[in-house]
Structure 1
Amino acid sequence: MTVLADEPAAPAECVNRWQQALSRAFARVEVAVPDPAAWTASLSTHRLGALQITDETSGPATVLRSTGSVAADPRRHVLARLQLEGTVHVSQDDRSAELPPGSLTFLDLGRAFRIAVPVPQCARTLMVPRPLLGLDENALRQFTATRVDPGDGDANALLLPLLTGIGREISGVAVPVQDHLARTAADLLAVLAADHAARLVPGTRPPTQSLFDRITASVEASLSDPDLSPQVIADQNGVSLRYLHQLFQRQGSTVSGWIRGRRLDAAHQELARPDAARREISAVAARWGFTNASHFSRAFREAYGMSPIQWRGQARGRPGP
C-alpha cells in the first residue's frame, strides 16, 4: 500500500487523508497539524506475512492513539519505531522518550500513546503481533516508550543496523527472499525487545516461544485475508505443508479448523461492540475472511447456538428477531 498525502488538495483534506492513511496502516489514530497550509506527508507500507514495514515522512504534527481509539479499533500489535531523520517525542504508560535519528522505541497499540513531531521527520515502523515478541504483559507494559540506542549494549549495536538495513532493502528483493527476511526481522525484533526488557525489567526471560505459537501469531495477523490457506501459512513460515498439519494435529486441531474458529471468535467479539448496530453482518463476515455471508451465518450458529443477528441484539441488551 502506498499513500501520498502531499498531492494537491485543501489543507484540511491533506490532514484528514494523513489520519486515514495512518489508521489503515496501524490502527485508529487522531492527527493534529499546527500549520496545515504548509504541511506535507507520505507513507508506504509493505505487508510480509506477520510483519508489516511502513516508511513515513511528515511535517510537524501530533499523532494520538486515545483510549477511545483503542476501544473502537482494538488491534493489539506492537510497533517498533525506528527514527531515521528528525527528532520526535513519544509517550505511553506515563513514560516519555525523545527519539533522535538512529534510535528506536516500542509502542503497544493495545494502549493509548502519543507521538509529537516538532520538526519534519522520517521514520520506519515495524509492526508485529504481540506474541511474536515472546514477552509477557508485565514486561511489555514496562518498556514501551523507552529509547533503544545503538550504544546501549552489544545486542543493540549489532541488531539496530541490521533492522535498518532489512527494512530498507526488503522491498527490492525477490518474494521468496522477502519472506525469509521478514522472518529474520521478526526474530531480530524479539531478541532486541527481550534484551531491552531484561535491562529495564528484572527477571524478564528471553523469548522461548514454540514454533506453533509463532505460526499461530502470524495467522492471527492475517485472519482478514480470504486467501489465507495452509499452503500460504506453510510458505510464510518456512515449513512444509505436511509438517504444518502435524503441528496442528498435535494440538488436537486442524489448520483450517483453527483459522475458522479464530475468525468466528473475532467476528463474535466485533458484533458485541456498542457500534456493531451500524454494521452489516456481511461486512463483518468479510472483514474476518468469510467471503460467503450465508456460510458465515451457518458456521456462527453452529459455534454459538444463535445467528449473528441474534447475538448482536443480545449483546446490545435486547432480544434478537
Structure 2
Amino acid sequence: MTSNDDVSVLKVSSSDIPESERVTRLRDFNCRGEVKAELEIRAGEPIIANLTAHSLPDAHLLLGTLFGAKLVRSRQFVVDDGDDSLVLVFNRSGTIGVTGRGRNLLLGPGDAVLASAEDATTFERFVAGDCFSLRVPRRVLAPIIMDVDDAVMQVIRDRQAEIGVLVDYATSLVREHALATPALRELGAGHLHDLLALVLDPTDDVRESAGRHGAKAARLRKAKFLIVNNCWRHDLSVGSVAQELSVTPRYLQRLFEADGKTFSSFLIEQRLKRAHRMLREPEFVERPVSSIAYDVGFGDLSYFNRSFRRAYGATPSAVRRGAAE
C-alpha cells in the first residue's frame, strides 16, 4: 500500500502471493479497499486476482479482476458497519452476476449497475474479465440525483457515452498521477461525482445542477430534493417549501405545473415510494401497515390504501407478502 496525505493506493495480485496465503490477503484487501464483504471461494477453481484500489475523499476507485471467488455482503455486515455508500460497477469484459433487493442480474460486457451498501448483495464473476467501480457516500449523490434509490439494482445499458467518459476520466487521473496533489484530488473527485450523476440520470436537470443553465430548473430541482428528503414530515406543505426557497407558493406551484405535475402529486408519490420500500424491507416486517402509513407522512389510512393501490396495483399487505415470499 502507498499513501499521500488523504489518498491511498492498495494493490493485490494473485501471481505475487503464495497460494496458501491468497485467501487471507484478498480478504484483507477487500475489507480495506472496498465495501466490507466476505470472500467465498468456489471449490475446485484457482483464485485469479489483479486489483488496484484508489481511495480519496468521497470517492473510491477499483480497477481489475477477481475470478474464482464470490463477494458476499451479508445482512450482518450491513448492520455492523452502517455504511450507506453507493457503488457503480461497470463490467468491461466477461460476465458478472449481481444479486440484491430480490433481483438476480447478469452484467455482460459494457453493462453497469448501481449497488447500495445498505443492501445485502453478492457479486460473482462467471467469466474472466475486467471491471471498474466507483464508490461514493450516499450524501454525495442525494443532492444531485432525484430519489437515487430508484436507480439501485437497475442494469444500465443505454448510456455507453456517459460511462465511457467517466471511466476514461477516472483512469486518466490514475495514469497521469493527478491524485498526488490536494488541489487536483479535490477537483478530480468533484468531476467524478458529476460524471457519475450523468451516468445515473443523463437529463437536462442534472446538467443544469452542474451549472450549465436554468435558474427555474435549479429551483424546481431543489424543491424536489427538499420534498424527497422530508416527505415523511406531516407539516410539509407548498408554503413551507416555498419559504425555504424564498419564493411565493404560487410561483412554486407554477414550477411544478410546468414540469407536468402538481406539488401535491409529487409529495404523495414520494411518500408512497418510501412506504413501498419499507414494506419490502425485513426490518419493518413487524411494523403494522397503519404505522408505516403514518411514518411516511399519511394521516388518513383509507386514503393511503387507495393511493397505494392506485400507484402499485396491489394492496400494501399484498406487497409485503410478495416480498416475504
Query: Equivalent residue for 1:68?
Result: 76
Letter in 1 for 2:64: E
TM-score by length of structure 1 reads: 0.55
1:79–1:108 contact (8 Å) kept in structure 2: yes
Q: Quick one: which amino acid aligns to residue 56 of structure 2?
A: L
Distance 1:138 1:92 in 2: 21
Superposed displacement of residue 81, structure 1: 0.8
Aligned to 1:163: 166
Aligned with 1:38: secondary structure? coil
CA distance in 2, matches of 1:62, 1:187: 31
Partner of 1:193: 200
- Superposed CA deviations along residues 80-117 of structure 1, whole A, max 9, x for unmatched, are 11111211011211122211122211010111111121
Specify every segment of 5 or more residues in structure 1 that has no aligned partner in the other structure, as ranges: 199-204, 214-321
Which of 17, 22, 41 is residue 25 of structure 2 equivalent to? Answer: 17
Cα distance, 1:119–1:96 mapped onto 2, change above 3 Å: same
Would the aligned equivalents of 1:53 and 1:126 in 2 still touch at CA under 8 Å? Answer: yes
Residue aligning to 1:101: 109
Corresponding residue number in structure 2 for 1:2: 10
Q: Which runs of 5+ in 2 are unaligned?
A: 1-8, 206-216, 227-325
CA deviation vs aligned residue, 1:101-143 (integer Å, no higher than 9, x gap): 2221101011111112112221111010102112699944443
- Contact map agreement 1:77 1:108 (CA 8 A) in 2: yes
> Cα gap change, 1:209/1:159 in structure 2, threshold over 3 Å: closer, same or farther?
farther
**Equivalent position to 1:113, from 121, 136, 139:** 121
CA 1:15–1:36: 2 relative to 1, 3 Å: farther
**Contact 1:135/1:194 (<8 A) preserved:** no
Q: What's the % identity of the aligned pairs?
A: 19
CA root-mean-square deviation: 3.1
Shift of 1:5: 4.1
In the superposition, relative to structure 1, how do residues 136 and 163 fare at CA in structure 2: closer, same or farther (>3 Å)?
closer
Quick one: structure 1 residues 22 and 208, their matched pair in 2 at CA, closer, same or farther if it must change by over 3 Å? farther
Alignment of structure 1 residues 147-158 onto 2, 5 Å? 147-149=155-157, 152=158, 156-158=159-161
Amino acid in the other structure paired with 1:45: A
1:181-229 deviations in whole A, cap 9, x for unaligned?
Answer: 3211111112322349x9xxxxxx999579xx9xxxxxxxxxxxxxxxx
1:238-286 CA distances to partner (integer Å, 9 max, x unpaired)? Answer: xxxxxxxxxxxxxxxxxxxxxxxxxxxxxxxxxxxxxxxxxxxxxxxxx
Q: Is 1:183–2:198 an aligned residue pair? A: no
- The residue type paired with residue 89 of structure 1 is G
Q: 2: CA distance between counterparts of 1:54 and 1:39?
A: 18
Retained in 1: the 8 A contact 2:10–2:33?
no
State the 1:70 CA deviation. Answer: 1.0
* C-alpha contact (below 8 Å) 1:28/1:69 kept by paired residues: yes
2:67 counterpart of 1:59: yes
CA distance in 2 between counterparts of 1:116 and 1:74 reads 23
Counterpart CA distance in 2 for 1:162 and 1:49 is 21
| Matched residues, number | 198
Cα drift, residue 171 of structure 1: 1.3
Partner of 2:58: 50
